[in-house]
Structures are given as C-alpha cells and as structure tokens.
C-alpha cells in the first residue's frame, strides 16, 4: 500500500508551514498541558504523542505535564509557548482528577503572558479556568455546549493564515461542533475557520451571541490576557481535536484527514513567530535560550515530572 497523494501533499505543506521555526536561533520549547478536573478526553495521550512526533520536523521541543505545581515563574520562563490541549475544569482537586491551576499557578501563568509568552489552546481548553478572566481573554471565548459528534463542514474564512493555508475552502470533518459564550472577535480575535451550520444538526438552545460566521478557530496577534502595559505575545485557538482518529494522521492512513495536524502545527508555528521569546529574540524575557533539540536535553526550562504520573482516565 502506498500513501495517497493528499497525504504526501500534506507533508510537503507541513514542511513549508514550519520553515519559520526551523530558522530560530534555538529550538522553540513548548509546554503541553493536559490537566483535567472535569471530563477527560481519551484522545489526550494520542494528541501528546502526535505533537512530540513533529518535534524534529519543526525544530520544537515539546514537554508534557499535568502537574500544576510546574506553573511557577522559573519553570514557565523556559518556554516559548504554553499549549493547553483538551484541559477541562478550574482548580478543584478530587480523587481521580487534577485541578487545572490553583491561585499560585494562575498568577505564574499571568506573569508569563505579561513577559511576552505565547499561548495555544486546543479543543476543550476553552472549557477550562472559566472563572479566570485573563485566561478567558487569552483564549478568546469560553465553550458553551456542543451537539452530538457528527460529520460536519467547516469553512475557511482566512486562507492566508498558516493554520488554514493548506485546507480546502470547505473542510469535511467528524467533530464536536462547539458553541461559545461570546464572540472572540469582540476582544480583537480574527476568525480563520467557521462552522457551516447547514452541514450538521444542532438541537441545543443557544443563550449567547457568538457572532457571525460561527467561530471554530481564531488567532490574536496580541493576546488579550496580558495586563495593560506589558508585552503581549500571540494566541491561537482551535475548537477541533475531539477524536483519537483526528490526531492519528500518518503516511499510511487514508482516514482520517491528515490536514488536522497541519492545521494545529500551522497555528502553533505562527504563534511562536511572535518574536517575543528567546528562541527568536535574544532580548526576550521568556523562552528557550539553549541549544537543546530533544526533550531530555538541558535547556532553560527546569526538568518536569514524568507526565504519566498524572495520567488518570474516566
């Protein structure tokens, strides 16, 4: 069996998408955070593996944790971006769950953003820290509800962005089509993907104005979670990424659509291109200033506890 032409094309596009990261002075370092205090997606381990598999392709070192105690000023200072993947909940601990962030962790995260740190949110990260204003602003909007998972179409609103430049104008996916509690455009976000509401069934009751067209992915050139007078990095969010199969694209698969990883990696590499962190700007106040190219080598980020220590599933 040979890989299909679409898959080969995707790998070519992915290489082009990531060129800006390859040219950084040091590998960018990204902290992937997947703590869940509420619903836990079984696609989380698959997502982490899929991201780490891209490390050498895009000159990015991925570290993964679910330990909120890693959210301190010294630890976060070593990262060029913080990436929340399918996190849920706030700060309440339970027997089989981990609080997303407590008060000290939130303060460290706010400080990181104020120093020019970048943020990427994926899927249910918009259903996290819902009582934390700066996080809601940095994400762009909070999750409201979704209809049952089904086949749907998302429309490309901005084909010039690195997260969408490889996508067809109408992208057919199987996904939870999120509704939000506000319009991310109200705080300056630019929507790049919108849900085609005629392509799926939604019997829920919408109580909030999320704007038109229906937002599914967006970016902020200057993250709105930064406190006034500080350095704002970039922010990118996509509501997609529910299924294991969505994250499992590789050369030998005809299904699922491999474009999802190109979408996520395109959003991440664009975010890292903010030029506010050390991997790209020697004057940056946060980010990786080292020369490490593997997640086990030394860098300006302290070593993290093994992520599997915190892996609990429902």
Q: What is the pLDDT of residues 90-127, one digit of tens each?
A: 866 555 566 799 999 999 999 999 999 999 999 999 99
Looking at the DSSP bridge assignments, the partners of residue 59 are none
pLDDT at position 300: 40
Taking the CA atoms of the chain, what radius of gyration do you get in angstroms? 18
For 32-41, 262-271, 279-288, 291-300, which range has the lowest pLDDT when averaged over its residues? 291-300
Predicted local distance difference test score (pLDDT) of residue 297: 31
Distance CA 311, CA 314 (A): 10
CATH code, 5-295: 3.40.50.880
User: In the chain, what are the domain boundaries?
Assistant: 5-295
Q: What is the pLDDT of residue 289?
A: 86
- Weakest-pLDDT range from 45-59, 243-257, 264-278: 243-257
CA distances from 74 to 99, 116, 278 (A): 20, 15, 14
- What whole-number distance in Å separates Cα of residue 107 and Cα of residue 72? 8
pLDDT tens-digit map of 284-293: 999 998 754 4
Render pLDDT for 40-90 as a digit per residue (tens, 0 to 9). Answer: 889 899 999 999 999 999 999 999 999 999 999 999 999 999 999 999 888
3-state secondary structure of 68: helix
pLDDT at 298: 31
pLDDT range class, residue 258, cuts 50, 70, 90: confident
Please report, rounded to a whole number, the percentage of residues in the chain having pLDDT higher than 70: 79
- The backbone torsions φ and ψ at residue 194, rounded to the nearest 5 degrees and listed phi first, read -130, 145
Q: How many CB atoms lie within 10 A of CB 104?
A: 13
What is the pLDDT at residue 39? Answer: 84
| Residue 14 in tokens | 């992915």
Instruction: Give the pLDDT of residue 154.
Output: 98
Q: Tell me the pLDDT tens digit for each residue of 139-195.
A: 999 999 999 999 999 999 999 999 999 999 999 999 999 999 999 999 999 999 999
Residues ≥6 apart with Cβ < 8 Å to 198: none
| pLDDT above 70 (res 250) | no
The pTM assigned to this predicted structure is 0.86
């Amino acid at each position: 069996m040979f890989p299909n032409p679409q898959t080969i094309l995707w790998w070519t596009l992915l290489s082009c998408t990531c060129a800006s990261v390859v040219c950084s002075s040091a590998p960018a370092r990204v902290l992937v955070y997947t703590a869940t205090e509420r619903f836990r997606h079984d696609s989380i381990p698959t997502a982490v593996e899929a991201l780490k598999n891209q490390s050498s392709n895009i000159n990015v070192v991925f570290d993964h944790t679910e330990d909120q105690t890693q959210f301190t000023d010294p630890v976060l200072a070593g990262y060029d971006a913080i990436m929340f993947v399918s996190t849920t909940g706030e700060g309440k601990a339970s027997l089989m769950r981990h609080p997303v962030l407590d008060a000290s962790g939130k303060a460290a995260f706010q400080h990181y953003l104020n120093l020019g740190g970048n943020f990427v949110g994926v899927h249910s990260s918009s259903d996290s820290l819902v009582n934390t204003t700066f996080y809601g602003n940095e994400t762009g909007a909070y999750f409201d509800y979704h209809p049952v998972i089904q086949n749907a179409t998302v429309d490309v609103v901005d084909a010039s962005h690195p997260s969408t430049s490889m996508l067809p104008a109408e992208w057919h996916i199987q996904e939870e089509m999120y509704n939000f509690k506000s319009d991310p455009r109200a705080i300056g976000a630019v929507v790049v993907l919108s849900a085609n509401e005629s392509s799926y069934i939604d019997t829920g009751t919408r109580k909030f104005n999320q704007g038109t067209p229906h937002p599914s992915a967006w970016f902020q050139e200057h993250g709105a979670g930064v406190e006034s007078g500080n350095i704002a990095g970039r922010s990118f969010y996509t509501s997609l990424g529910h299924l294991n199969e969505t994250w499992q694209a590789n050369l030998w698969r005809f299904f699922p659509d491999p474009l999802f990883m190109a979408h996520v990696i395109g959003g991440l590499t664009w975010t890292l291109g903010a030029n506010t962190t050390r991997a790209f700007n020697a004057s940056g106040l946060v980010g990786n200033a080292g020369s490490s190219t593997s997640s086990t080598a030394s860098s300006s980020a302290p070593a993290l506890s093994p992520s599997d220590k915190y892996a609990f599933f429902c």
